[in-house]
Chains A and B, each alone.
Chain A
């Protein structure tokens, strides 16, 4: 049997040692009435057969389409060394580093990851990871509720609709009030927000760049929120943070985001990486594991999981979160990515994304009937209006070999003719030109 080493003879020796006559003896505590009513599974297959079957299944996915779909999840280039590092089995076959003497590899890597995220988003402290950008935003909202003791959360409609529906699902039974604020011309409507903000507000939840791709300075929003004692939560795109004004500089109190763009494959939605960073004064209210530096009995530097009294395995029903397994290996991949690109490299990636997005936006807006929807500046993603239903146009472009964009009408009423287009450093001028030609053809 694969992965089970015992020979029949060994099994017999071990049974005797355990004082049992047969394997069945070992299960005699299970009442016979509980025997399975069915266990109808296929017979096992060889490794070769399973590999081949899955190869064929993978070929049924249309990964050959030239991708211009983003929506918070991007096709960035992943350096070859990232996979070489996460493939080291001392990392990936280890458990949570509860025994620090044999886990310094994981612990130091996560400590370095925490450092990199802090520097990228301009915050004091980062946790060891959460599941994804959406659950990170929910955890940040609950953290703000704990810090302020208030129950209203104001959410910009520029925050990913995928995350907003998650937030609504998680908070449905929790006596919290969610209030959404509209976006005008691609940026948050300040007037509506001012009216919504009051002494019961725990947090204002923003996203920058927002779901439409627009970049805005939210410093004034932070000022307004802090004026009534509310916190600002900003969901950020880590690659963008290398180029644009950081959430920390704009006054955010908690920064969360999806770390997929830092060296993780798209992989149909996961595993991804939720990151969360905050100000030092809030560290004890933060969910999830944190690695801290300390010394050993001989004064040598080392790392441990710290501030564990916030966590479920100590505090049980009074913990700051129920999280146990996180996305540690994905954080390792992100740290490998950030190290390989480095200070200059990550800014180059961000600049190239922005340059190519600007080029694409100009190129597409030359097509008769196509216009850029919002005047606000963008990072790597932008919204265009088409002369007819965007979903239909995208469908027709799939036949021409492009995943051309995302139809905003799916999440925003009245935006049925709008399409969200994402560019990464991987898209070439030639591909962009072909997309423009195909779009022109479809629209003519």
Chain B
């Protein structure tokens, strides 16, 4: 399909911008002016609408069809969130207003959204206080590790390493490394959990933190958690909870009760805000009491008179990690979601998410290798190792699913499973949808027996077939060439 640049016609205009009602006087000297106008497209409003409507048709979202992308929690995004985030009183609010004299009074509505959402998360996760500032999960991880570093520094602890299991998301080691720590990986045992003996050997006085996802990326709950936490704390290490898989445990386990000191929540996963084709997300961080003094500033507080305010007076704070108060528009959608579901609804979310995953797993385990065969939580990992014997890889199965109208599972992750296919159905999918997916997976498994070669050509019914990724690296073409 043509790019918007290829649709450009010299002299054509789109939206007419507001005109000047003051004398037309540019007050910049010539040497400070741009010589040539920026070569943006010259298209009409209808050209633009048709262009993006066509592009939207070449995309697949949760509203299009089943999206069992493991570890990404692609649940339905309620439309109420879209509506409320567009209310003028929220959308038009300038973030610097609270910094004006008595400016807190000008922004009470939005400050309450931030405060209440933080309070709800504190109760759901069992933490003392949340900062809503981190703008994505990985940003939350970096913030969390910075908090841990500030804590150790303040206590005079000299620690240089962070322990991460080998099944962790790539962001965990990357965040710890960027915060200045050495990352030590611990392998998984035959049950898919972090190997306890190996962990004991790795854990020492130099360990600043242990980062865990629970349930882990195999969708399994680690029954050794209480012991791991106890061992880590005995060595003065703090426990970090990666909330990527929180959708499995709402109302069932609270990381704070388990003894985690720092947690981050992926709002765009568990709390149903849209992923936006890659973002924006939101990654609030919650802490246990001993880490509260180090939280980023500003902090939203509720005063004794019931008014909300911003508090900057925290000398031990790690400082500023965001320009303002986080991705407010995203947090607002999550707030609407929590208020709609309430206590009972949130518990039902996890129960049904876990039920859906176990249902699919039980129906598919005769057809695909299930490396860790036990009750799973919100997701599970199959291996295409049996199919590989016929020359069919996880990638081929993914592409065959695309041909059949499904978004594929996450493939080749976690790294500890060969030809991994990580399936997370979420709670918002109906039994009919799950059954159709199960049938498609079985049909593909049977096709692998009969005509394995046919699967290499999939998908055949999309705007493009398989793309040459090696060529993309070689071409280094990252923008439309100028005329």
* Set A163, A244, A272: member contacting B33, Cβ < 8 A: A244
B393 in the interface, Cβ–Cβ < 8 Å?
A: no
Q: Is the CB of A44 within 8 A of B342?
A: yes
A413 in the interface, Cβ–Cβ < 8 Å?
A: no
A255 in the interface, Cβ–Cβ < 8 Å?
A: no
A342 to B48, CA, bound (A): 10
* Set B110, B223, B356: member contacting A31, Cβ < 8 A: B223
> Closest B-chain residue to A175, C-beta based?
B180
Q: Is the CB of B40 within 8 A of A292?
A: no
* Set B80, B113, B274: member contacting A50, Cβ < 8 A: B80
Interface string of B80-115 (1 = CB under 8 A from A): 101111111111111111011111011111101100
Q: Is the CB of B279 within 8 A of A329?
A: yes
Q: How far is the CB of A187 from chain B (nearest CB, A)?
A: 12
Q: How far is the CB of B283 from chain A (nearest CB, A)?
A: 8
* Set B16, B124, B221, B322: member contacting A166, Cβ < 8 A: B322
Interface string of B13-25 (1 = CB under 8 A from A): 1111111111111
Q: How far is the CB of B114 from chain A (nearest CB, A)?
A: 8
Residues of A within 8 A of B20 (CB): 351-352, 355-356, 425
Q: Is the CB of B59 within 8 A of A91?
A: yes
* Set B18, B226, B319, B326: member contacting A168, Cβ < 8 A: B319
Q: How far is the CB of B20 from chain A (nearest CB, A)?
A: 5
Residues of B within 8 A of A95 (CB): 67, 69, 72, 74, 275, 277-278, 407
* Set B136, B226, B318, B464: member contacting A323, Cβ < 8 A: B136
Question: Given A62-B97, A355-B25, A359-B23, are A92 and B17 neighbors across the interface (CB < 8 Å)?
Answer: no
* Set B40, B90, B335, B363: member contacting A346, Cβ < 8 A: B40
Q: Is the CB of A62 within 8 A of B106?
A: yes
Residues of B within 8 A of A62 (CB): 97, 105-107
Q: Is the CB of A267 within 8 A of B276?
A: no
Residues of B within 8 A of A290 (CB): 478
Question: Given A13-B431, A96-B278, are A60 and B89 neighbors across the interface (CB < 8 Å)?
Answer: yes
Residues of B within 8 A of A15 (CB): 355
17 A-B contact pairs sorted by A residue (CB < 8 Å): A11-B352, A34-B258, A54-B336, A61-B89, A61-B90, A89-B63, A90-B56, A92-B77, A92-B82, A119-B40, A174-B180, A245-B32, A343-B40, A344-B13, A377-B29, A378-B27, A403-B97
Name the residue among A38, A59, A83, A343 with the largest chain B CB count within 10 angstroms. A343
A418 to B50, CA, bound (A): 48
Q: How far is the CB of B401 from chain A (nearest CB, A)?
A: 9
A202 in the interface, Cβ–Cβ < 8 Å?
A: no
B375 in the interface, Cβ–Cβ < 8 Å?
A: yes
Q: Is the CB of B92 within 8 A of A266?
A: yes
Q: How far is the CB of A425 from chain B (nearest CB, A)?
A: 5
* Set A163, A280, A429: member contacting B476, Cβ < 8 A: A280
* Set B45, B58, B100, B279: member contacting A81, Cβ < 8 A: B45
Residues of B within 8 A of A269 (CB): 95, 322-326, 328
* Set A11, A99, A105: member contacting B55, Cβ < 8 A: A105
> Closest A-chain residue to B457, C-beta based?
A297
A window 389-419: CB within 8 A of B = 391-392, 394-395, 398, 403, 406-407, 410
Q: Is the CB of A14 within 8 A of B138?
A: no
A-B pairs with lowest CB-CB distance, top 10: A269-B324, A58-B89, A44-B342, A169-B319, A329-B276, A105-B59, A328-B278, A93-B61, A395-B101, A269-B95
> Closest A-chain residue to B341, C-beta based?
A44
* Set A39, A246, A335, A425: member contacting B254, Cβ < 8 A: A39
Q: Is the CB of B26 within 8 A of A293?
A: no
Q: Is the CB of B107 within 8 A of A105?
A: no
A271 in the interface, Cβ–Cβ < 8 Å?
A: yes
> Closest A-chain residue to B374, C-beta based?
A29
Q: Is the CB of B320 within 8 A of A293?
A: no
B358 in the interface, Cβ–Cβ < 8 Å?
A: yes
* Set B59, B97, B475: member contacting A104, Cβ < 8 A: B59
A307 to B431, CA, bound (A): 39
A window 279-307: CB within 8 A of B = 280, 283, 289-298, 300, 302-304, 306-307
A window 295-330: CB within 8 A of B = 295-298, 300, 302-304, 306-307, 311-319, 321-330
B window 386-442: CB within 8 A of A = 398-399, 402, 407-408, 413, 427-431
Instruction: Flag the segment in B170-178, B231-239, B444-452 that touches A.
Output: B170-178
Residues of B within 8 A of A429 (CB): 21-22
A101 to B309, CA, bound (A): 48
Q: How far is the CB of A400 from chain B (nearest CB, A)?
A: 13
A190 in the interface, Cβ–Cβ < 8 Å?
A: no
Q: Is the CB of B362 within 8 A of A340?
A: no
A359 to B345, CA, bound (A): 56
Residues of A within 8 A of B157 (CB): none
A window 102-151: CB within 8 A of B = 102-106, 108-112, 114-116, 118-120, 124-126, 128-129, 131-135, 142
Q: Is the CB of B14 within 8 A of A345?
A: yes
Q: Is the CB of A313 within 8 A of B38?
A: no
Residues of B within 8 A of A177 (CB): none
Residues of B within 8 A of A356 (CB): 20, 22
Instruction: Flag the segment in A17-25, A192-200, A220-228, A434-442 that touches B.
Output: A17-25
